[in-house]
A and B are shown apart, each in its own frame.
Chain A
């Protein structure tokens, strides 16, 4: 069970593994490129360019919204993701992992804009087995979904979504999941699936994307992130614990 010493350099490692030097060009330059930062274990806090840090991570701790324009909407998103992935004795929930910031960033980019999806018409409602048939982009779905969460909170409980208790929030989220909320251009269960998936993505994606703060998502799960290789551990009979690494860290 003991934590193994991972303190060998990629170069040593490649040498001992009998890899032709040609592969160094392919396999060995990350450290050289990104250098400068985080080499030791106590800097498990932040990958360069990530937000949500606690320590002296200079400009990288500046954080803001790049897709949402209203803090109120962002707060709804935050609370909804926290219900999906709540804080508990295992560790942080979605908010603690900066999942809402992760999603905000993704919605502003190619994910939100559906830039790799076939978005030509005509659009027809299809069978569930035919998948995504909406003319809406993902970021439009999120916007609409969040507005509807707000509306549901008002009509069901006469208050704002963020002022609901957990059970009330769950009731609304479940209504989305069960396709009971009428959305325009998309079914609410589809939006809910997207929201759930994006929450998990934000909890477990490499912290370079702004979520998974301090790699705590990985730590909870026992996933060591970006390791060079497991050739020296793959035959171990014991479970191997390692401190996780981000691709943004030198190794």
Chain B
């Protein structure tokens, strides 16, 4: 028995950053919004026991329960895809706020270059810089068009930063709050990079440097540098997250309701419009249909793609023919870097998730790629996020991994190790894509999403180039031993890397090469919107959420306009 509920103006699938932003903007305009969230309600009051590395960082208290649903993975089409049985490479969110609850808060805008990467690469390096296997394309929107939405997200989130980076796009306004404290560890990086002729600046942060009230009237507190940020919720309400900003803003209108324990399994479609979504109550397993005038998929990269696939909306990408767009251009990131072992003890256990300094001299097209066999680059950062003892056991090369020598070296170096890391951009490749798995299912009987992914030559070349740059910085910082990260071979889903998955539901100017238009409106169903990092046509050299937030504001504008005027907004 399926129960059909009363229709609403807008339904969102998931209530993280994207769901929260859509809800707040639409509800403020008087639209009735329902957010369906498979996880539970939670908020600042639930984080009083949060300084617990074991529960939160090691056993993934706040993340997706894989016993209900996961993805399958293989490196290439010849392999059998197998389930990701435990979390590792990326940590998917679940519950109010999504991954925006346990993120670090490093909040970037992608570069102007990113949005027009194909045009700019062809213009500067000719059409054959990368082989045709790399499916790079422009995003159908420019940085300048997106600038007001970036500004909007940063104001909502109260981002702390300084406009000192010569390589990023022009900002209409400064950051809403000043940068975080420049600690001795960061000063070391600042001095070393300056001496090397690079241009360091404070990393833009959603761990706020001071108490702030955002334009919606929501208050965010000042970061206390507690050292338990990434993978944890903030007990002080100082790390901007959806549940302390956009979700309460939406609720205050009286037009927004969240239904928890609601796992959406299908987008309902009739002709060229969608009519609502079908979901299971995860407690009782009852089935419901929530009809809506507009459906917005805000359930992260993976589930957004999966829902379109199981609902048969759009054309699945086929790597053999190159036809189809759904699932195309999945990209991840590469993490070149170097670790330095120092003589003196430092306060490495103190910190905050987005406390850091960066240089962009090797990001985007800031340096000439004419003689290099790759494009794009990486932001290089020294972050002081707060090292915790279970997961942080740095040892110099050639130390055994257990026993007496290990114990001594790991204890000695815990407070004597600093690392400089690059967040390397990743270019889409025709063999990297998302599809539906034909074997494995979730507990609702719906096929799992299947990921086919491997690092490419472009990634490997970029990785080794950037690794050398990070080693130079660490050396310049005075390390007695520098350990550069080894070169990369195959992508491995086991160790944590980043939760910066992109693509699969890419945006663009042309329905033949993208899933949604630049209002994130589906080309095949005008009352369906899909928003998230899945819209990225490639992955850049930064964390994604600043750009995701901007796209969500753009999408909200689209939903509101569509609700008034109807039709395609492209």
Residue numbers of A with Cβ under 8 A of B are 17-20, 22-23, 25-27, 29-30, 33, 83-86, 88, 90, 93, 110-111, 114-120, 122, 124, 126-133, 170, 173, 196, 199-201, 204-206, 208-209, 217-218, 220-231, 233-237, 239-240, 247
- Are B390 and A204 interface neighbours, CB within 8 A? yes
Q: Which residues of chain A are within 8 angstroms of B389 by Cβ–Cβ distance?
A: 204, 217-218, 221, 223
**Least Cβ–Cβ distance between A198 and chain B, in angstroms:** 10
Could you tell me the distance between the alpha carbons of A205 and B390 in the complex, rounded to whole angstroms?
7
Could you tell me the distance between the alpha carbons of A122 and B407 in the complex, rounded to whole angstroms?
40
> Which of B74, B227, B401 is A230 in contact with, Cβ under 8 Å?
B227
- Are A204 and B236 interface neighbours, CB within 8 A? no
> Which of A23, A114, A201 is B44 in contact with, Cβ under 8 Å?
A23
Q: Which residues of chain B are within 8 angstroms of A114 by Cβ–Cβ distance?
A: 67, 86
- Which of chain A's residues has its CB closest to B235's CB? A27
Q: Write 7 A-B pairs (CB below 8 A) sorted by A numbering.
A: A127-B74, A129-B492, A196-B402, A201-B390, A228-B224, A231-B223, A239-B346
Could you tell me the distance between the alpha carbons of A157 and B224 in the complex, rounded to whole angstroms?
56
> Which of B219, B226, B345 is A227 in contact with, Cβ under 8 Å?
B226
Residue numbers of B with Cβ under 8 A of A are 43-45, 47-49, 51-54, 58-60, 65-67, 69-70, 73-75, 79-80, 82-86, 88, 181, 183-184, 210-211, 219, 221-227, 235-238, 344-347, 349-351, 388-390, 393, 401-404, 407-408, 410-411, 414-415, 439-441, 490-494
- Are A88 and B404 interface neighbours, CB within 8 A? yes
**What would 19 more interface pairs be, CB under 8 Å, given A205-B54, A221-B411, A222-B349?**
A25-B45, A26-B43, A27-B236, A84-B403, A85-B407, A88-B404, A118-B67, A118-B70, A129-B494, A133-B82, A199-B402, A206-B52, A223-B389, A228-B224, A231-B224, A233-B350, A234-B183, A235-B183, A247-B49
Q: Chain A's interface: helix, strand, loop or mixed, by majority?
A: loop
**Least Cβ–Cβ distance between A223 and chain B, in angstroms:** 5
Could you tell me the distance between the alpha carbons of A230 and B47 in the complex, rounded to whole angstroms?
18
Q: Chain B's interface: helix, strand, loop or mixed, by majority?
A: loop
Q: Which residues of chain A are within 8 angstroms of B350 by Cβ–Cβ distance?
A: 230, 233-234, 240
Could you tell me the distance between the alpha carbons of A227 and B440 in the complex, rounded to whole angstroms?
44
Could you tell me the distance between the alpha carbons of A199 and B347 in the complex, rounded to whole angstroms?
25
Could you tell me the distance between the alpha carbons of A228 and B344 in the complex, rounded to whole angstroms?
25
- Which of chain A's residues has its CB closest to B51's CB? A226
- Are A19 and B211 interface neighbours, CB within 8 A? yes
- Are A115 and B67 interface neighbours, CB within 8 A? yes
> Which of B402, B441, B491 is A120 in contact with, Cβ under 8 Å?
B441
Q: Which 6 A-B pairs have the closest CB atoms?
A: A26-B44, A229-B224, A205-B54, A230-B350, A226-B51, A204-B389
Given contacts A27-B48, A117-B85, A217-B389, contact A86 B219 (CB under 8 A): no
- Are B54 and A23 interface neighbours, CB within 8 A? no
> Which of A17, A25, A86, A131 is B494 in contact with, Cβ under 8 Å?
A131
Q: Which residues of chain B are within 8 angstroms of A85 by Cβ–Cβ distance?
A: 402, 407
Could you tell me the distance between the alpha carbons of A69 and B6 in the complex, rounded to whole angstroms?
55
Could you tell me the distance between the alpha carbons of A199 and B402 in the complex, rounded to whole angstroms?
10
Could you tell me the distance between the alpha carbons of A204 and B388 in the complex, rounded to whole angstroms?
9
Q: Which residues of chain A are within 8 angstroms of B238 by Cβ–Cβ distance?
A: 19
- Which of chain B's residues has its CB closest to A90's CB? B411
**Least Cβ–Cβ distance between A146 and chain B, in angstroms:** 17
Could you tell me the distance between the alpha carbons of A86 and B390 in the complex, rounded to whole angstroms?
16
Could you tell me the distance between the alpha carbons of A138 and B540 in the complex, rounded to whole angstroms?
38
**Least Cβ–Cβ distance between A201 and chain B, in angstroms:** 5
- Are A234 and B82 interface neighbours, CB within 8 A? no
**Least Cβ–Cβ distance between B141 and chain A, in angstroms:** 35
Given contacts A234-B181, A235-B184, contact A18 B407 (CB under 8 A): no
